[in-house]
Amino acid sequence: DIQMTQSPSSVSASVGDRVTITCRASQSISSWLAWYQQKPGKAPKLLIYTASSLQSGVPSRFGGSGSGTDFTLTISSLLPEDFATYYCQQAHTFPFTFGPGTKVDI
11 binds another protein (CB under 8 A): no
Among 61, 68, 74, 100, binds another protein (CB under 8 A): 100
Between 66 and 99, CB nearer to another protein: 99
Closest C-alpha among 75, 79, 99 to residue 87: 99
Among 21, 37, 44, 62, binds another protein (CB under 8 A): 44
Q: Are 104 and 47 a contacting pair, CB within 8 Å? A: no
* Cis status of the peptide bond prior to 44, with omega within 30 of 0: no
32 binds another protein (CB under 8 A): yes
Please report, for residues 13, 14, 31, 68, the alpha-carbon distance to residue 80 in angstroms, rounded to integers and kept in the order given: 10, 8, 29, 32
102 binds another protein (CB under 8 A): no
86 binds another protein (CB under 8 A): no
57 binds another protein (CB under 8 A): no
